[in-house]
Structure 1
């Protein structure tokens, strides 16, 4: 048995130094395409509550033609805020499909953040009206920031951003982060902010409906990020019956996404738009929703990118991992 096998470890700082917005966008696009073409498989999801108050999940999959196999163990631990840490935690492992041996272990927090932002960006590129100028974002946390960052990259006509906070108070740090890229202001009336927006992004813990269904006007596009577990939601009851629904994975969206609340709603997978299997054919008055639950393939294509870049640049810690 090989006694000289090595395992590469990439920590938080190394991952953040290696990530590039444009590269992640292309890796996530590839993941959607592989999923649509059936070349990339997504295995059954694990997502379970813990007695500690956290939620633990495993997303896994493979691309057999590329020798790509792995999983992400991740979840949400709200108590981490009291420790001064991030509630979302994730670890990615790449595995050699020929031997089952681990190849690379990667801190997955930044990967999850950026690949989700990239997925949201692709949703905007293919579903939002290109002339959208006004955006409303719910949340000011890590995911709200990356979603807004990609939105400003993807939709150059965006000029006005309004944000809604859970406590109803302005977030000076959030405003400062985007003040040079758009006109940003705090919204105290969430329904009015939604009604006055071309694009709505919901990036909250998914604790309940964030606005009234009547607030959503014809022509609006919504990127929904927060519903990623059974029982979570951000959209109001009845809204999905009025929209054209797009998802990353139909079965997963019905299990843990916004679609769980209206599982019979017809939907189109975003990957099928990218491969031409389906067409959005967006009419100006259509309300579109992208229900984002996150694909294991997104984590794996980005992890492969990081692994290759780390090996080329001799980044990370290589440790002995003999059989």
Structure 2
């Protein structure tokens, strides 16, 4: 996205983001930036993420630079667990984009919808490159705000026939079931163990701090996208599962420090060298899945470059379509 000569700043609201960024454009943006990261053409800066000691909130910054895409900036925001009671999403964030040639602020972009759509695009990219082609059953662990985005994006990558789901709060499952119905997929609420026995692809999208799926429950050939663990201490699956699986991630540094792999690495079950950036598969430098029986696992920690990539698309399209507000600072 190039800035106007007059140095105006583009403001893209949540509503406009939803109008200009669809699943296809988010998928392409995230896939491209993962490839750029693996080539060393894009890199994330160290993440700041802190419990602020107020409202049980986690707050922080994710930032980076994509030399190829020309995206420089940061996402500021976090997780406020009490927001649902206020009619707000728990995740709240804003993306700031800067001109890499001058350092001037280019855009302020609403980050809530984009966080959900880029997270769904990330797991969707992993399914596209790692899941078996004949996958028929999708397992969903989690039924919160982001689960619908995950389900819709995943459904576009394989010819799924049914969805099996589990959530810590079962009363939230019918809403996810409506999404499956809208996609023409059968839906069934099942136990965690039954989900592992049936699913060919599993997406975990929770804020859990303990394993929800055990290694012995997962059948050969399954692809798992772990999308909820993005903070030290969080965990969604048994650490032993990563030892059984071939592990891929968005960024290794985050995977071993705040991602799902933190526990397996900490227990000595796998080493940093056992984890492959998914960008290497996208670029053709790694084969990805090598057999029908191989269990593949994608540790989607969520990197700042994902946010910058989709926010850049939102700002570019909003400006081109005359849908953005502009201000002078």
| TM-score (normalizing by structure 2) | 0.92
Counterparts in 2 of 1:185-204, with a 5 A limit? Answer: 185-187=188-190, 189-204=191-206
The residue that corresponds to 1:103 in the other structure is 106
Shift of 1:193: 1.6
1:199 offset after TM fit, Å? 1.1
For residues 68 and 169 of structure 1, what CA distance do their matches in structure 2 show? 41
Q: Relative to structure 1, is the Cα distance of residues 65 and 195 closer, same or farther in structure 2, using a 3 angstrom cutoff?
A: closer
How many Å separate the matches in 2 of 1:184 and 1:281? 27
Aligned-partner Cα distance in 2 for 1:78–1:31: 30
The question of whether the paired residues in 2 share the 8 Å contact of 1:127 and 1:282 is answered with no
Which runs of no fewer than 5 residues in structure 1 stay unpaired? Answer: none
CA distance in 2 between partners of 1:170 and 1:116 (Å):
20
Partners of 1:217 and 1:64 lie apart in 2 by: 41
The answer to whether 1:320 aligns with 2:320 is: no
Equivalent residue in structure 2 for 1:283, among 267, 284, 291: 291
Matched, 1:214 2:222: no
In 2, Cα distance between the equivalents of 1:137 and 1:25? 20
- Distance (Å, rounded) in 2 between the aligned partners of 1:162 and 1:235: 17
Whole-angstrom CA distance in 1 between matches of 2:67 and 2:29: 17
Alignment deviations for residues 133-167 of structure 1 (CA, whole Å, 9 cap, x no partner): 112101112221111111110002x1011111212
Instruction: List gaps (5 residues or longer) in structure 2.
Output: none
Aligned to 2:318: 310
Offset of 1:253 from its aligned partner? 0.6
2:185 to 182, 187, 211: 182
Does residue 93 of structure 1 match 2:120?
no
Q: 2:256 aligns with which of 246, 254, 257?
A: 254
Offset of 1:66 from its aligned partner? 4.6
Q: Which residue of 1 aligns with 2:136?
A: 133
Partner of 2:243: 241
Aligned to 1:26: 28
Whether contact under 8 Å (1:55, 1:75) holds in the other structure is yes
Bigger mean CA deviation after superposition, 17-26 or 266-275 = 17-26
Task: Indicate if the aligned counterparts of 2:259 and 2:299 stay in contact, CA closer than 8 A.
Answer: yes
Match of 2:155 in 1: 152
The corresponding residue for 1:294 is: 302
- Aligned twin of 1:120: 123
Q: Measure, in 2, the Cα distance between the counterparts of 1:196 and 1:229.
A: 29
1:78 aligns with 81
Q: 1:66 to 1:201 in 2, by over 3 A?
A: closer
User: Aligned-residue CA RMSD in angstroms?
Assistant: 1.6
**Aligned counterpart, 1:167:** 169
Cα distance in structure 1, aligned partners of 2:157 and 2:67? 32
Deviation at 1:221, TM superposition (A): 1.0
CA drift of 1:258 comes to 0.5
How many residue pairs align between the two structures? Answer: 317
Contact preservation (8 Å) 1:10, 1:106 = yes
Q: What do the CA deviations read for 1:196-244 (whole angstroms, capped 9, x no partner)?
A: 1111110111232113321111111111011000000000132211111
Equivalent residue in structure 1 for 2:231, among 229, 232, 240: 229
212-221 or 285-294, which deviates more: 212-221
CA distance in 1, matches of 2:34, 2:257: 19
- Aligned partners of 2:83 and 2:90 also within 8 Å: yes
**How far off its partner does 1:319 sit?**
1.3
| 3-state SS, counterpart of residue 179 of structure 1 | helix
Partner Cα distance (2:69, 2:286) in 1: 25
- TM-score norm. by structure 1 comes to 0.94
